[in-house]
Chains A and B, each alone.
Chain A
Amino acid sequence: MTQTKIKGSYAIIEALKDEGVDVLFGFPGGVVIPFYDALFDSDLRHILVRHEQGAAHAAEGYARATGKVGVCVSTSGPGATNLVTGIADAYLDSIPIVAITGQVKSDLIGTDAFQEADTTGITLPIVKHSFLVTNPSDLPRVIHEAFHIASTGRPGPVVIDVPVTSQFAEFVYTRATTIDLPGYRPTTRGNAKQVRTAARALAESTRPVLYIGGGVISAGATDEVRTLAEKLRIPVTTTLMAMGAFPETHELSLGMLGMHGTAYANWAVHECDLLVAVGARFDDRVTGKLSAFAPQAKVMHIDIDPAEIGKNVEPRIPVVGDAKLVLQDILTELDKLEVNPGLTADWLKKVDAWRAKHPLRYDLEGDEIPPQYVVEQIREVTGGDCIITTDVGQHQMWACQYFKYTFPRQFISSGGLGTMGFGVPAAIGAQIGRPDKQVINIGGDGSFQMTMQELGTAMAYDIPVVYAIINNRYLGMVRQWQELFWKRRYSHTYFEHQPDFAKVAEAYGAFGATVAAKDEVADVLRAAIADPRPAVIDFKVRQEESVYPMVPAGATITEMIGAAPTRRKKS
């Protein structure tokens, strides 16, 4: 049998198809012309973005919405550096993406050639792994390994830097099927002894709290979390990364914890005797002052990344493994023990009392639109059956507090890196990944202006995302900090000039509307959703609204602002 040689650029496409890729987000340039030329002959779907940052975030949005690996493509130099923010964002939130970057000819590397940048060097601290493919016939293996690394263990971004010479070279394509990574063997199954210890601690606890993070979503462990919570009657609080991993409509849900979490979630963590962290990493926005975090609790930490165990909090019961498998094993152990779900009854009563006394609330009085009201109306109008993406800032926190998520991958947001400009492209990626659900981006006027050029992308591919801009003319979160901690010195947080966002949308051919009255919010939302085009709604909201409750950075729960619960009398 004669074997036909194909160019490296074609090999990349073959390998991507072998990995089950159905869409790429990218932007061409000098050294990826061979790749784009091969793409021209291919049925692989490519979404041409307007800026490479958009490609990276769209790939993330796709990955976050589907659980599959998102793929973005850029040229060398500026193309690759424009991807960096999205790669870092994926790294901090453990999102599986593969970024393919072009590189100058391999014999020009190191000569400061046109559009040369050391892409693997620049991205080194923000990738799970990276490859520079100077040997063209390595391409099939490298791509196979990249997808394996990105999607297994603790997921994360992988960069493949491909010199243009490797795209030109011809070789016989053989599908790579084996993985030879002697240094990469993630532990998925929890240690049996630790699992038994964990089960016993759970069975004995009278004041437990489940603190679940993004790992629950990447592991697909939401059913197990729910079974465990219901079996032992444990209240559940979620990090920003885990919104929707436990239905917030459930009586055991405490909503989000941390800096802008609910007062009752934070109080429950403060007073619990067993804190069960699953796929969460004790981030400073969650813990506040570490030494005062969950002071009465025995800490159980279940995580697939051994380096997370003991990084911030030293757990009494560490279990390294995949959240789903570990929880399954714990549930099996619990079946062998005598479990009394009534053990937490008093605790739940106490938690419910906090919930009743200190609910999330905002002021609905007056003519102006409260930003929280927009979030609630989005839920009303959609019946809660949509995917929410966000940008970063106050609107993001309100989107966490007031929507009530009920299914995993319903809430897509930049958590760890806190990337303004994430939402516009991420919503496009999410909508492409989940055409069956309406995607609505809850954004801010500041964030929207960072990536609003991607409206062109949404238009070009008929992606019917609805962009709700919570427009307070401020960089609201920074303004809030200036108000609270910097004597209201609003240094450079007010936009003296803003475009007419509705007209911007119309200029792109999208649906555009401006809403300044409360009673128009729902109707305009309905119209925007009904319109087949992408839509932008500029909600002019109350300008100096702040996000409460708030635990100031580095503070303790007792210093919570805006919902300070009255201390209970000593019994």
Chain B
Amino acid sequence: MKHTLSVLVENKPGVLTRVAGLFARRGFNIDSLVVGESENPGLSRMTITIDGAEHPIDQVTKQLHKLINVVKIRELDAESMVARELALVRLSAEAADKRAEAMQLAELFKAEVVDVDRKSLVLEIAATPETLASFIDLLRPLGIVELVRTGTVAIGRGRG
């Protein structure tokens, strides 16, 4: 089972290294880690996705909490979060039928064509991790030349 942690950290040099180093040292595997500035410029927010079957999640959060620069950790579960990942996919699309199929899938998944030339086209999709996975699965037979993913960002749902 995947676990998603939303981790608020001080925006200071070396914080990413400390978090990544902790995961490495304690033998926790990261599926994805995304970091960027939060609503407060002094703080950054990390969204960390890990495989909870491999590691007891509370041990991961407790060890993270020990890092002085980690301010707050929230574990997000599937029901109470909105999660998105963005991907850019370059497809080889010389053949007209492949190109058409790709465009069709893109429309179906609300992906956008962001670059196109005679040999290939680039699709951009932002979706839930599950939708993204099935989109990529469907594209695979068409010939994916290059795939770039951001990793998951997630936010808690409102409770009001």
Binding site for B on A (CB under 8 A): 120-121, 124-125, 128-129, 132, 149, 181-184, 305-307, 309-311
Contacts and interface: CB of A to CB of B under 8 A. Distances in A.
B17 A181 contact: no
Given A182-B10, A182-B71, A183-B9, A307 B66 contact: yes
A307 B65 contact: yes
A121 B17 contact: yes
Contacts of B69: 183
9 closest cross-chain pairs (CB), A and B: A307-B62, A183-B71, A129-B68, A125-B25, A184-B68, A183-B70, A182-B71, A306-B62, A124-B21
6 contacts: A120-B14, A129-B68, A183-B71, A184-B68, A306-B62, A307-B65
Max chain A C-beta neighbours (<10 A), residue from B13, B62, B71: B62
A306 B14 contact: no
Nearest to A134: B13
Nearest to B25: A125
Contacts of B59: 307, 310-311
Nearest to A308: B62
A310 B9 contact: no
B123 to A, nearest CB: 39
B131 interface: no
Contacts of B63: 307
A307 B21 CA distance: 17
Given A121-B17, A149-B68, 15 more contacts: A124-B17, A124-B21, A128-B68, A129-B68, A182-B10, A182-B71, A183-B69, A183-B71, A305-B66, A306-B65, A307-B59, A307-B62, A307-B65, A307-B66, A311-B59
A309 B65 CA distance: 13
Contacts of A310: 56, 58-59
Contacts of A306: 62, 65
A128 to B, nearest CB: 8
Interface in B51-81: 56, 58-59, 62-63, 65-72
Interface residues of B, number: 22
A120 B72 CA distance: 23
B18 interface: yes
B5 to A, nearest CB: 15
Nearest to A149: B68
A310 B65 CA distance: 15
Nearest to A154: B66
Max chain A C-beta neighbours (<10 A), residue from B10, B13, B18, B66: B66
Interface in B4-20: 9-10, 13-14, 17-18
Contacts of B67: 183
Nearest to B14: A120
B110 to A, nearest CB: 39
A535 to B, nearest CB: 42
A132 B13 contact: yes
Nearest to B10: A183
A546 B117 CA distance: 77
A305 B13 CA distance: 26
B130 to A, nearest CB: 31
B136 to A, nearest CB: 35
B16 to A, nearest CB: 12
A182 B66 CA distance: 12
Contacts of A128: 68
B24 to A, nearest CB: 8
Nearest to B72: A183
A124 B68 contact: no
Nearest to A153: B66
Given A183-B9, A183-B69, A307-B65, A125 B21 contact: yes
A52 B58 CA distance: 38
A148 to B, nearest CB: 10
B11 to A, nearest CB: 12
A305 B65 CA distance: 10
A306 B66 CA distance: 9
Contacts of B14: 120, 132
A193 to B, nearest CB: 19
Contacts of A182: 10, 71
Contacts of B62: 306-307, 309
Contacts of B65: 306-307
Contacts of B58: 310
Nearest to A307: B62
Contacts of B56: 310
A405 B13 CA distance: 46
A124 B25 CA distance: 10
Contacts of B70: 183
A502 B49 CA distance: 61
A255 B62 CA distance: 32
A128 B63 CA distance: 11
A420 B68 CA distance: 30
A539 B9 CA distance: 55
Contacts of A311: 59
A417 to B, nearest CB: 15
Contacts of A125: 21-22, 25
Nearest to A158: B68
B101 to A, nearest CB: 49
B26 to A, nearest CB: 9
B65 to A, nearest CB: 7
A125 to B, nearest CB: 5
A34 to B, nearest CB: 23
A128 B67 CA distance: 8
Contacts of A307: 59, 62-63, 65-66
A149 B13 CA distance: 18
B57 to A, nearest CB: 11
Contacts of B13: 132
A149 B67 CA distance: 11
Nearest to B60: A307
Nearest to B56: A310
Contact of B68 (A120, A132, A183, A309): A183
A132 B14 CA distance: 9
A433 B22 CA distance: 34
A132 to B, nearest CB: 7
A259 B71 CA distance: 39
A184 B66 CA distance: 8
B113 to A, nearest CB: 41
Contacts of A124: 17-18, 21
A124 B71 CA distance: 19
A120 B69 CA distance: 15
A311 B66 CA distance: 14
A121 B18 CA distance: 9
A128 B68 CA distance: 8
A184 B72 CA distance: 10
Contacts of A305: 66
